[in-house]
Amino acid sequence: MRIIPLGGLDGIGKNMTVFEYGSDLIVVDAGLMFPDDDHPGVDLILPDYTYLLENSDRLRAIIITHGHEDHTGALPYLLKDLDRRDVPIMGSKLTLGFIAGKFEEHRIKNPRYREISAGDHVVIGNFSCDFFSVNHSIPAALGLFIKTPAGTVLHTGDFKLDQTPIDGVRTDFAAITRFAASGVDLLISDSTNAVNRDFTKSEAEVGKALRQIISGANQRVIVASFSSHIHRIQQVCDAARSAGRKVAVTGRSMLTNTRIARELDYLKVNEADLIDAYNAKDIPSERIVILCTGSQGEPLSALARMANGEHRTVEIEEGDTVIISATPVPGNEKAVTRVINALSKIGADVYDKKRALVHVSGHAGAEELKLILTLAQPSYVLPVHGEAQHLRAHAKLAKDVGIPAGNVFVLENGDTLLLGEGKITKGDPVESGVVYVDGLSVGDIDAVVLKDRQTLSSDGIVTIVCLMRAGSKPAGKPEVIMRGVSGGDDPGLISDLSTRAEQMISKFASDQRKNPSTLKRELREAISSTLWERTRRRPMVIPIIMDV
């Protein structure tokens, strides 16, 4: 059996792992990652799933462990590129409900779904899969035990060991113990919280803090959270109801996910306790809780628009209470801080994780990871789902509980493990990387485009417009246009750049050279050099040669 992580080993997100045996291939999860400051203009980042496209005839199923974006977000793009609708997409009822909502947005018609539940045994070609419950920050999360003639793999998915879960569903220790008794060759396990040395706190602890803050607020309470964090949303609704407040929901994904979760009976809140966000202004401020998106500081999210005074239905006032019930994903810290500062300027009382226990992680800490390692008793371990620091911390935990160092693999996306006869070795890597989504463009952005955008955002742009007569002779003084350049309004600098360009053109003409590409290159180098001397900046320089 070949195990090929295509994503999830270089950051928090875009989780995707391929399993291959004989003529059959399955993939577990198809997630995305959100861009950071190094990706200006990029909307989403997907794993490079070229290997799946090249082997699409062997793809038997797509298994999704749970409904978070970092495990489902790439599915619409993958399905469009596969151009196949017969591949079954397998997941729990809630997971498939969220996926169906995504497919409607992307206008993907007639996908093939197969609902699975904890305890199910499913045969997919040469793969025998047993599914078991894991506790996470979303209901109906699953792990799976994969068995083939070549060996066995236990994949935890994302999990924690919460013993007081909101929905009563705990990580299934009994199932893991059964798998261990039959023999686990390879454990693939969540590493996101491996650097946290303790047990992750229970989600129920957040409910206590939410009830205290909401019941003590004198005006409106606005709570921002992940729209897929149904356990958190349930606790917000429970706290609002106990304080005699109605709940208004705003934000596209929050509206969609709460609707789906209520329809599928994962979110239990009475219709009488919900109101439309448009009617929230008609309710006394001490009787309302507004549930919204924006916990990551996204510029177009509901909370960000409220902070900027741009929301259509909610205007935050001095004295309102805002709860940011999430931890910033790496790369989003600055955006969240900007939103908090904007809210503070208005006079809102802002609670985040630093001020109160309004968020706990959905991922296992180090002690929980060690417990799973001990229960599963794997021969080999592959840490996944995390940045390099998380993977290596998890690898150290595996060694600490007695797994031989040579049996713990810290891989890169695209690396391959070969499992057979109870042994695992590294195989040849496959093509991997990332795919950028920019508006309607998917995969058309490369490193050069990103570098250009970074240059434009930091140093600006200079355009040199040169008129040339036949015979490569200059026709008038070159025009210099600068945007976003330090000193760009300095007439002296503009005049000097124009003169320098005129000298380069005259020299080019006197040498009787004809190639305009050569002139553009020399102009670019000369102007860039002058700008560096005068401003210590290297803006993008674009020469334009026009024949007259």
Residue pLDDT, tens place only, 67-80: 999 999 999 999 99
Q: Is the pLDDT of residue 445 over 90?
A: no
Q: Give the residue among 227, 165, 164, 161 at the shortest CA–CA distance from 196.
A: 161
The residue to which tokens 């001020």 are assigned: 355
Q: Give the residue among 95, 234, 236 at the shortest CA–CA distance from 165.
A: 234
Interaxial angle between packed helices 388-400 and 366-376, expressed in degrees from 0 to 180 and rounded to the nearest 10: 50
The two structure tokens encoding residue 291: 């549930």
Amino acid found at 193: N
| Local structure of residue 406 (DSSP, 8 states) | G
- What is the C-alpha to C-alpha distance for residues 189 and 381, in angstroms, rounded to an integer? 8
Cβ proximity of 436 and 416 under 8 Å:
no
CB atoms within 10 A of CB 402: 9
Q: Give the residue among 220, 341, 360, 232 at the shortest CA–CA distance from 293.
A: 232
The residue to which tokens 């790496």 are assigned: 330
How far lies 387's CA from each of 8, 11, 66, in Å? 8, 4, 20
Amino acid found at 500: R
Residues ≥6 apart with Cβ < 8 Å to 354: none
pLDDT of amino acid 532: 84
Please give the residue that has the higher pLDDT: either 471 or 493. Answer: 493
Query: How far from the centroid of its chain's Cα atoms is residue 171's Cα?
Result: 24
Confidence at 498, pLDDT banded by 50, 70, 90: confident
Residues ≥6 apart with Cβ < 8 Å to 355: none
Cβ proximity of 38 and 51 under 8 Å:
no
pLDDT of amino acid 438: 66
Q: Give the percent of the chain with pLDDT over 70.
A: 93
pLDDT of amino acid 514: 66
Q: Is the pLDDT of residue 441 over 60?
A: no
Assigned CATH class of 203-351:
alpha beta
Q: Is the pLDDT of residue 178 over 90?
A: yes
Confidence at 364, pLDDT banded by 50, 70, 90: very high
**Domain spans in the chain, listed from the N-terminal domain onward:** 2-198+361-442, 203-351, 447-547
Query: What value does the mean pLDDT of the chain take?
Result: 90
- What is the C-alpha to C-alpha distance for residues 326 and 437, in angstroms, rounded to an integer? 25
Residues ≥6 apart with Cβ < 8 Å to 277: 248, 249, 250, 290, 313, 314
Amino acid found at 179: F
- What is the C-alpha to C-alpha distance for residues 292 and 25, in angstroms, rounded to an integer? 39
pLDDT of amino acid 528: 86
pLDDT of amino acid 470: 63
Q: What is the pLDDT averaged over residues 7-14?
A: 90
pLDDT of amino acid 443: 58
pLDDT of amino acid 69: 92
Cβ proximity of 26 and 63 under 8 Å:
yes
Q: Please provide residue 363's backbone torsions phi and psi, each rounded to the nearest 5 degrees.
A: -115, 150
Q: Does domain 447-547 have CATH number 3.10.20.580?
A: yes
Which segment of 70-79, 341-350, 409-418, 530-539 scores lowest on mean pLDDT?
530-539
Q: Give the residue among 82, 107, 42, 68 at the shortest CA–CA distance from 443.
A: 42
Helices (H), 277-386: 302-307, 333-346, 366-376
The two structure tokens encoding residue 339: 């939103």
Q: Give 223-270 pLDDT, tens digit per residue.
A: 999 999 999 999 999 999 999 999 999 988 999 999 999 999 999 999
Torsion, Cα of 147, 5, 14, 140 (10° steps) = 10
Q: Is the pLDDT of residue 380 over 70?
A: yes
Which segment of 38-52, 153-167, 200-214, 440-454 scores lowest on mean pLDDT?
440-454
Sign of CA dihedral 420, 426, 431, 435: positive
Q: What is the pLDDT averaged over residues 404-425?
A: 96
The residue to which tokens 């009563």 are assigned: 168
Cβ proximity of 76 and 103 under 8 Å:
yes
Q: What is the pLDDT averaged over residues 386-395?
A: 96
Q: Is the pLDDT of residue 515 over 80?
A: no
Q: Give 18-56 pLDDT, tens digit per residue.
A: 999 999 999 999 999 877 666 656 678 899 999 999 999
Q: Is the pLDDT of residue 66 over 90?
A: yes
Return the bridge partners of 114, or none: 90
pLDDT of amino acid 469: 72
The two structure tokens encoding residue 362: 């959905």
Right CATH for 2-198+361-442 from 3.20.20.20, 3.60.15.10, 3.60.150.10, 3.40.50.140? 3.60.15.10
- What is the C-alpha to C-alpha distance for residues 397 and 372, in angstroms, rounded to an integer? 11
Q: Is the pLDDT of residue 276 over 70?
A: yes
Confidence at 512, pLDDT banded by 50, 70, 90: low
Q: What is the pLDDT averaged over residues 98-111?
A: 91
- What is the C-alpha to C-alpha distance for residues 134 and 142, in angstroms, rounded to an integer? 5
